[in-house]
Chain A
């Protein structure tokens, strides 16, 4: 069905590795039936996530997943791991508290365009600035799916939607443009129909030492008829296939991410290899080998009393 001239080609190590990782992959299955619409982009994202965990050799005692409220949040009990399904707009803040408390597990936070760009953009802005160590996945399906298709900050202008019978009056927000204005340390983009590519982007994000921002442009077959699957396939451009593309060049990355209409850049847009996350900037934690969750005991306050005597 795709008219896309390009195809993503990964490193090809999946098959070799998967032989050893089959059990791991199956361990992430849950007994709960999937409740998404057929053709929903969330199904592909879930598959990519499990594939990435298995390929990274991560057991379910090495990851913790945080979900916002929205269609993507239904994943919270559809994956066999420790999950936290919080409140609308707040997922990044809760995950930030978690990543600071436990340094031993990989923190993955997921949210939709509604929760992240309307209810809680402040959390996103300051998490990028703080560079909390986590992988954040933005499920961008350009509408409020769970409340039956109202326009979000990324909906196409003029497209008729629930609560916008004359078409959404606002121009869509380019979230990458917002994130680049905040001096991020990792920005990637992928499409929910391309599981193989998403898997690689998730793996890259899991290995980033800081806030890894991954935008997944997501199909919504029920409410978003403006940008169906083919629309994306026709426009995607894998940056790793562009000659001379340098993901350490933020200015180039920012520029190429601007276009959301003609050629949509996907892939690892930008990565700062020297990223230092918030926790590692804290003088109070210098040289500590334990995590805060391992340190709950009576801490002696008597030295502090001296100046009060």
Chain B
């Protein structure tokens, strides 16, 4: 067995988030590789939700849909997730009237599930006079089933409740009580493979990584309006503000957040905002303003399925076209996409460098899947990515500047930029079409010259961008995929698993999507015969972009747009 998959389910508000914190930290402390994510409805209480953890002795990047152990905190959890458990799998629950729900018993019988009833509620009431801690009893019992030492659980529980000593005592009692329970002897044989050595790593979700990357990049102001799944970027920024010294402001709406970020960037600091598609819609006029004024601008779109409110707490990759085609007028921009925690940390830094060097809007895409999933990754490096600002700061050079240098018509399209008030040569930052010093113009030739100048930056940018990367074998794969964003994770797992089965899968991954690089892409199409597109949207938006630009077409398209992620088994078994 290479990975063990456990799904915890229950009603929203039943403490699953706390459970996730504890379980992921405990599994990590045992030295396993892991990946964890949660699914929940857009309500605070009620509705069913779950979190899943996949762990094992080898790197894991995505979730499996074959559940080894289901832990149902309450009956709604059991009702909604029982059918996801694999044949012969283990179900741990505290639902004492299971036989009364004929459908559940039927599923359990058909799938030969090992149903284990744990009197968690009764024990919790006995120990703590509340059933709020029944999940801790289940957790203790799970640890027994897995054959893990209890001390690996005690550490994370202590950390979680260190500010609430009364609850800490109760919770520790409950996990001990759960661990002491007599279990079916057969179950005790369930023991996952243990890793040989613990990797040096951190456990972090994408939004947290993005916030850390921003701090590293020298971002000194963050403005945002809450919207899932971007909201936790604001939470992380605010929680770290006193230590980072950053200005953090929850704006009154997304337009303000974008305008404040632009105002701060104009004044010479680094600032940005993050939102989801709906909030980004409101920001697009600001994107257009950033483009004509050539003030660097960075915005993050954390994707969730639309249109409109759509499926707010689920994942997708459907806003690539939005990022590429949004906002009025024609102007150069960069669209890039994160794929996991490490890339969140790194790409936000690159986003600022490209925005400042080319003086363009940069749109960084992420996804619910990346934003909230927990990744086990090597600790982030300090100072690895240089800060490149493209600013004039040398006093001698500042003294020689002319106002017309600011929007000078140049070969590359890039003109000098200096922080307002830093030189005697003032300039106008004008949303009207303008001359080299920013003075308004409506003269045909002058307007065309300035538009041409800005559009030339597009060519310079395309030349500067890295090509996409190939994962798996370079050429001659049995099955090939092309994709972007969080799909990279499931492809990494699929490549490994297919290799074990003696098959070869490879994958061409785009971090930088627009302008689209085509050299490596064309090579990939020459080197492989059966190339499919894999994307989390209906239209196959990257596929369309590729076909429009290169004429290359795909053998088949694996598209998903129901809010759910791709699972490794589905990729491996994809029918060509």
Contact of B259 with A by CB under 8 A: yes
In the complex, per-residue mask of A75-90: 1 if CB is within 8 Å of any chain B CB, else 0: 0110011111111001
Interface membership of A298, Cβ < 8 A: yes
Nearest-Cβ distance from residue A271 to partner chain B, whole angstroms: 25
B203 and A308: CB pair below 8 A?
yes
| Nearest residue, chain B, Cβ from A66 | B263
A253 located at the interface, meaning its Cβ lies under 8 Å from any Cβ of chain B in the complex: no
Output the least CB separation between A138 and chain B (Å): 18
Question: Across the interface, do B264 and A101 meet the contact criterion of CB distance under 8 Å?
Answer: yes
Q: Are A123 and B256 also in contact (CB < 8 A) when A100-B247, A300-B382, A302-B382 are? A: yes
Assembled-state Cα–Cα distance A302/B382 (Å): 7
A98 touches B382 (CB 8 A): no
Contact between chains at B431 and A292 (CB < 8 Å): no
Is the Cβ of B252 less than 8 Å from the Cβ of A123? yes
Question: Once bound together, how far apart are the Cα atoms of A284 and B243, in whole Å?
Answer: 7
Contact A101 B269 (CB under 8 A): yes
Q: Which of B249-296 contact A (CB under 8 A)?
A: 249, 251-253, 255-256, 259-271, 285-286, 289, 293
Q: Which of A76, A87, A292, A308 contacts B264 (CB 8 A)?
A: A292
* Contact B202 A305, beta carbon cutoff 8 Å: yes
**Complex interface residues of chain B between 413 and 453 (CB less than 8 A to chain A):** 419-424, 426-432, 434, 438-440
How distant is A198 from chain B, measured CB to nearest CB, in Å? 23
Q: Are B260 and A305 interface neighbours, CB within 8 A? A: no
**Closest CB in chain B relative to A302 CB, distance in Å:** 6
Question: Mostly helix, strand, loop or mixed at chain B's interface?
Answer: mixed
CA distance A203 to B242 in the complex (A): 35
Q: A278 — which chain B residues lie within 8 A by C-beta?
A: 249
Contacts of A300 in B (CB 8 A): 382
A69 and B543 CA atoms in complex are apart in Å by 40
Stretch with Cβ within 8 A of A (4 or more), from B214-222, B316-324, B455-463: B214-222
Identify which of B212, B285, B389 contacts A87 (C-beta below 8 A): B285
Per the bound structure, the CA–CA distance linking A95 and B271 in Å amounts to 14
With contacts defined as CB atoms under 8 Å apart, how many contacts are there between chain A and chain B in the complex? 208
Interface size on A, residues (CB 8 A): 60
- Residues of A within 8 Å of B431, CB to CB, are 69, 85-87
Question: Could you tell me which residues of chain B, from 16 to 49, have a CB within 8 Å of some CB in chain A?
Answer: none
Find out whether the CB atom of A90 lies under 8 angstroms from the CB atom of B268.
no
A23 contacts the other chain (CB 8 A): no
Residues of B within 8 A of A296 (CB): 218, 220, 268-270, 387, 389
Does the CB pair A93–B218 fall under 8 Å? no
Given contacts A101-B269, A297-B218, A298-B382, contact A93 B202 (CB under 8 A): no
Whether the pair A97, B221 counts as a contact (CB closer than 8 A) is: yes
Q: Is B127 an interface residue (CB 8 A)?
A: no
Q: Separation in Å of the B111 CB from the closest CB of chain A? A: 37
Chain A residues near B269: list those with CB within 8 A: 101-102, 291-293, 295-296
A98 touching B266 in the complex, CB below 8 Å, given contacts A292-B220, A296-B220, A309-B202: yes
A288: nearest residue on chain B (CB-CB)? B245
In the complex, which residues of chain B have a beta carbon less than 8 angstroms from the beta carbon of A305? Answer: 202, 212, 379-380
| Minimal beta-carbon separation of A188 from chain B (angstroms) | 24
In the docked arrangement, what's the CA distance between A90 and B287, Å? 13
B470 interfacial contact with A, CB 8 Å: no
- Assess the B262–A100 pair: CB atoms within 8 A: no
The answer, yes or no, to whether B559 is at the interface (CB within 8 Å) is no
User: Is there an interface contact between A299 and B221, defined as CB atoms closer than 8 Å?
Assistant: no
Question: What CA separation (Å) do A15 and B273 show in the bound complex?
Answer: 48
| Residues 81-122 of chain A, each 1 if its beta carbon lies under 8 Å from chain B, else 0 | 111111100100111111111101100000000000000101
Q: Using Cβ atoms and an 8 Å threshold, which residues of chain A touch B220?
A: 101, 292-293, 295-296
**Is A159's CB within 8 Å of the partner chain B?**
no
Can you name the residue of chain A whose Cβ is closest to the Cβ of B376?
Answer: A308
Kindly state whether residue B566 has any CB partner on chain A within 8 Å: no
- B241, CB-defined interface residue at 8 Å: yes
The reply to whether B262 and A81 form a contact with Cβ atoms under 8 Å apart is no
* A77-B438 in contact (CB<8A): yes
* A82-B255 in contact given A93-B263, A292-B264, A305-B202 (Cβ < 8 Å): no
Residue of A nearest to B430 (CB): A85
- Verify if A303 is at the interface (C-beta below 8 Å from B): yes
Q: Which residue of A lies closest to B427 (CB)?
A: A82
- Do B379 and A84 touch across chains, with their CB atoms under 8 A apart? no
Nearest CB on B from A151, distance (A): 24
A94 to B290, CA, bound (A): 11
Contact of B268 among A60, A84, A101, A282 (CB under 8 A): A101
The residue on B at minimum CB distance from A284 is B241
Q: Judge whether B421 and A94 touch: CB under 8 Å.
A: no
Q: Please state if A101 and B244 are interface contacts (CB–CB under 8 Å).
A: no
Residues of chain B contacted by A63 (CB below 8 angstroms): 421
Flag A253-277 by CB within 8 Å of B: 1 or 0 each: 0000000000000000000000000
For the complex, give the distance between the alpha carbons of A301 and B243 in Å: 10
In the complex, what residues of A have CB within 8 A of residue B429's CB? Answer: 82-85
CB nearest neighbor in B for A32: B439
Is A292's CB under 8 angstroms from B247's CB? yes
Known: A122-B256, A293-B268. 15 other contacts (CB 8 A): A60-B424, A82-B420, A82-B421, A84-B429, A87-B431, A93-B260, A96-B256, A101-B271, A102-B268, A102-B419, A120-B255, A122-B252, A292-B221, A301-B212, A304-B243
A sample of 23 inter-chain contacts (CB < 8 A) reads A77-B434, A77-B439, A83-B428, A83-B430, A84-B420, A85-B432, A94-B260, A98-B263, A101-B220, A101-B221, A101-B265, A101-B271, A123-B255, A123-B259, A126-B251, A126-B252, A278-B249, A282-B241, A284-B242, A284-B244, A301-B382, A304-B240, A304-B243
